[in-house]
Amino acid sequence: MTSIASIPVQMGIAAAAYHFPGELQDIEACAGQHNWPDARVQAIIRSGCRHFHAAPDIGEVELAERAMARLFDETGLKPADVGAVIHVHTQLFSVPAAPRSLPLELVSRFGIRPLWTGSVNQLNCSSNAAAIQLAGALMASYAELRHAIIVSVDRVYGERFRLRQMSGIQSDGAACLLLSRDCRRNRIGALALRNYGKWHQGSDTNAAVERDMINLEWHYTRKVMQQAVADSGVALEDYGCLLPHNSDHKGWISICKALDIPLDRLRADNILLKGHACCSDLAVNLADIGLAEVDAGRHLLSVTQSNSGAFSALTLHPVASHDAN
């Protein structure tokens, strides 16, 4: 277990942006085309998922470029002000083949001269948590580093892998988080990350891991949520917004009931509207929902699960209330 509180840097999420390719697609309408089993499709619909985006003709680098361009356009941030670019992904093939490097191509494309750039993966959908920790460590080491961008991008290779067990469907897409030192928009309060190595093979292709995760994933989700809340110093009942990752709406409703979290605080619209974009879910949900919630003075808790045994929970707070603590 780790916490951002151990990093001696005040840091917030100043902005988020994303890019989804093509038109929104419907899982039921596409089932026949891709020979998806009807029973599985119906189970996913019952879990609260239906829509997704697909990028069969767009490469990962181009998707990431589109998301980063949107971030620069919407914030007015200049590439010269970016001191680190951290790339995260879930799918093993969601990178250009060696010797190409997605983060190096991005910094070259935008003229960024970073103090550090590289990739984080193998924590799958929870890789953002490690990237945020890395950004904090870099800011602690380099006083001149004021802004870091975390860029995420994933695509499905083979439509039979788009369905996520019985609880979700994956979208292709890319997203960016802008992390800023002494951010006046909000503060990261705590970041809890747990990784269970026994599940490293993942649940997609290992039936034993899948059975084990079905029994324990919500137990471990609850533990990581409780740890982040305890580290943040803000009581769970004072959180006004819970952002899930975008899969298994029924499961998130169940954990809210188990923890006595009012269901109107669960902001899960994107599970239905956008699909599960792996590492990009955090930025997508912050851009659409979460940052406005914190701007309005609410404490936010964002939670991820992965199919490889990594779980994370992030707390985000209004600046004035966080500083008062």
Q: In the chain, which residue ranges form alpha helices assigned H by DSSP?
A: 27-34, 38-46, 60-75, 102-110, 127-141, 207-232, 249-258, 269-273, 281-285, 291-295, 319-324
Taken as a whole, the chain contains a residue count of: 325
pLDDT tens by residue, 19-40? 999 999 999 999 999 999 999 9
168: part of which helix (H) or strand (E)?
strand 168-169
Quickly count: other Cβ atoms within 10 Å of residue 3's Cβ. 17
Q: In 161-288, which residue ranges form alpha helices assigned H by DSSP?
A: 207-232, 249-258, 269-273, 281-285
pLDDT tens by residue, 238-283? 999 999 999 999 999 999 999 999 999 999 999 999 999 999 999 9
Does the pLDDT of residue 323 top 70, yes or no? no
The per-residue pLDDT of the chain, averaged, comes to: 90
CB contact at 8 A, 166 and 40: yes
Does the pLDDT of residue 214 top 80, yes or no? no
Alpha carbon distance 307, 309 (integer Å): 6
Does the pLDDT of residue 208 top 70, yes or no? no
CA distances from 95 to 89, 124, 163, 172, 200 (A): 8, 14, 20, 13, 20
Per the model's pLDDT, the better-predicted residue between 310 and 197 turns out to be 310
pLDDT band at residue 216 under the 50/70/90 scheme: confident
CB contact at 8 A, 55 and 155: yes
Q: What percentage of residues in the chain have a pLDDT greater than 70?
A: 90
Looking at this protein, which amino acid is placed at residue 110?
F
Alpha carbon distance 129, 192 (integer Å): 8
Task: Return the pLDDT at 212.
Answer: 67
Task: Return the pLDDT at 3.
Answer: 43
Task: Return the pLDDT at 317.
Answer: 97
CA atoms within 13 A on the CB side of 71: 34
Mean pLDDT within 52-75: 95
Alpha carbon distance 269, 23 (integer Å): 18
pLDDT tens by residue, 171-203? 999 999 999 999 999 999 999 998 876 766 555
CB contact at 8 A, 138 and 145: yes
Alpha carbon distance 293, 271 (integer Å): 18
Per the model's pLDDT, the better-predicted residue between 13 and 216 turns out to be 13
pLDDT tens by residue, 88-123? 998 777 888 888 999 999 999 999 999 999 998 778
Mean pLDDT within 291-306: 96
Give burial (CB, 10 Å; 0-12/13-18/19+) of 205: exposed
Task: Return the pLDDT at 206.
Answer: 61
Does the pLDDT of residue 76 top 90, yes or no? yes
60: β partners:
none
User: What is the 8-class DSSP label of residue 150?
Assistant: E
What's the distance, Cα to Cα, between the start and end of the chain in Å? 22
CB contact at 8 A, 171 and 247: no
3-state helix, strand, coil in the chain (%, to 5): 45, 25, 35
Task: Return the pLDDT at 228.
Answer: 96
Q: What percentage of residues in the chain have a pLDDT greater than 90?
A: 75
Taking the whole predicted model, whether its pTM rises above 0.75 is answered as yes
Task: Return the pLDDT at 210.
Answer: 65
CB contact at 8 A, 9 and 187: no
Record the tokens describing residue 51, joined without a space: 């829509």
174: β partners:
19, 153
CA atoms within 13 A on the CB side of 281: 35
Mean pLDDT within 46-71: 94
